[in-house]
Amino acid sequence: SHTHAATSHRISTQRKLAFQRKRVAAAPSIETIPREASVTDSQVIGTLSAAVRAVRGEIALRNDATHHRQRAHLDGGGGTFGDQMIQSSTTSVSIETEEKNVQADMVPLQQKTVQKQAVAASASTDTPTHRHAGSALSSEDATDKVLSRAGLRVTATDGALASGVVTASEIDSKFPKGQTIWLTFSNKAYLHFAQNWYLSVKDVGRQRQVIIAALDPDSLAVWVDLRLPVLDFSAFGDGSDFRGIGSDQARFRKMGAMKVAAFLSLLELGREVLVSDVDSSWLADPEPYLRSVTSLDIGVTTDCLSREADANKDGSSTRFHPSGVWFCGHNPGNTFGHTFNTGVLYLRPSARTIEFTRRWHAKLLAPTDDWHLEDQRAFNQMVEVRLHPVVAAPSSADGSVILAANQSIWLMPLPAGKFCGGHTFFVQQSSRPDDCMHVHVTFTEGGVHGKLWRLREAGLWSLEEDGYFNTGRYLTLVPPQLPSGTLPSARVEPFE
């Protein structure tokens, strides 16, 4: 009876398999579907989905048939169990391969449909500012989008003292003697950041002192067209956002050497140089403050995460260990913990500064086994020689200027409360905007996009298209009144 039941079920299963084969044969592949205008991608996807279901049905029926063939064998049916398993396995593999091929045909159509739906949704939006593409923009596309809608427009009233490609000697001849050169470096991926940086310099009234060093042909052409003075480093030729450049550290180190060479050429002409990264914004003119410190050779920002620890120059605060605090260990008496960030560099053309910068440049060009060596790392390696325990420079009574680089230069770690890093400004929000002269978008995830949104949410992004702030409807929030009377003082935990 078992054999008869298995035979009957096998006949029934074979009929079902024949029907399923007809369904699979009738379901057209991606190559056989006519692509007339009347056939939509959704219809094609629906047809292919039916083909996938048919193939899956055949797989299920074959598995069922295999089970009953095995039962028939155990009840006295012909053939060997191994033969049946090999035949079943081979057939299943071929069918599963066919299913994968059909599904692979569906993927690009599904992606295309999603993109079309996103474009259609954005086209129906009343406010053009809020349109979004179907997928995340690349760094290059994001730059192009910003520049096409709200790119920088430099007018004659901005009063550039030179325009087009210039050399260091031409800069020196055209700029008034004693005037500080404001320098930054620009490439295609960060071109919108460089333009935003320029507008922040313009806001503090120093745009006539700006020099742009272009690192690729695209950015060189843009700055020349804007009639601003440009140092031509386009032979470097990298317009990327430098993410993933770790696979070519020698090239990244070469870029650092070119940057150091740029301000070395100005220092050797007797020029003060203020260098800052494009992923930053100037909120106030720092020159009066920097000029008030007469004893320094080089000023540099830090990655210090505490304004209070940074300001503890005399070590009198009981909140902090007298030996130092990680990232803030650059005060007199500290024995560890310094981290300098070359996002802002203020260089005076002293003999000590020029000699240090020449050695810095040579270090970046020399062969090395240090895979991670780049300009900032090289700077830190040089200044930390005999840095600890930290010693104040001879003429620095308050400890704001220290001896560094084997006591060969007078270095000023720029105050964290005035030159604000991304952690204190955006994450902790411990730095008041009206106290900061400069904000650098460090400690930020998301690459170029994350940096842009950090600046935008802080009101430090100036490349907004017309209508961004006055088009659309907004929710207005009236904050509650602050409690009256004396507020409780902050609890301060002493170090001991």
Q: Are residues 183 and 298 in the same domain?
A: yes
Residues facing 411 on adjacent strands: 298, 402
Same domain, 415 and 272: yes
Tell whether 31 and 175 lie within a shared domain.
no
Judgement on whether residues 82 and 165 belong to the same structural domain of the protein:
no
197 in the same domain as 67: no
Strand partners, 413: 300
| Distance, CA of 402 to chain centre | 33
Residues 101 and 211 in one domain: no
Q: Which structural domain, as residue segments, surrounds residue 254?
A: 140-457
Same domain, 164 and 308: yes
Judge whether 218 lies within some domain: yes
Q: 240 with 367, same domain?
A: yes
Instruction: Report if residue 187 sits inside a domain.
Output: yes
Give the pLDDT confidence score for residue 267 in this predicted structure.
98
* CATH number, residue 188: 3.90.550.10
Whether a cis peptide bond, with omega within 30° of 0, leads into 128 is no
Among 64, 94, 123, the domain boundary falls at: 123
Other beta carbons less than 10 A from residue 99's beta carbon = 18
Q: Do 78 and 155 sit in the same domain of this protein?
A: no
Instruction: Report the number of distinct structural domains present in the chain.
Output: 2
Task: For residue 496, tell me if it sits in a domain.
Answer: no
Report yes or no on 491 lying in a domain. no
Same domain, 18 and 76: yes
The predicted pLDDT at position 21 comes to 53
> Do 31 and 169 lie in a common domain?
no
Q: What are 423's two structure tokens?
A: 């952690």
DSSP assignment string, 71-139: HHHHTT-SS-HHHHHHHHHHHHHHHHHHHHHHHHHHHHHHHHHHHHHHHHHHHT-S-GGG---SSPPPH
* pLDDT of the chain, 496 residues: tens digit per residue: 444 444 444 545 555 455 455 544 554 444 444 444 444 555 555 555 666 566 566 555 555 555 555 544 444 444 443 444 444 444 444 555 555 555 555 555 555 554 555 444 444 444 444 444 445 666 667 777 777 777 777 665 566 677 789 999 999 999 999 999 999 999 988 999 999 999 999 999 999 999 999 999 999 999 999 989 999 998 765 645 554 444 567 777 888 999 999 999 999 999 999 999 999 999 999 999 999 999 999 999 999 999 999 999 999 998 998 898 989 999 999 999 999 999 999 999 999 999 999 999 999 999 888 888 999 999 999 999 999 999 999 989 999 999 999 999 999 999 999 999 999 999 998 877 788 999 999 999 988 889 999 999 999 999 888 777 776 777 788 888 888 888 777 666 565 5
Q: Evaluate whether residue 328 is within a structural domain.
A: yes
**Does residue 162 sit in the same domain as residue 53?**
no
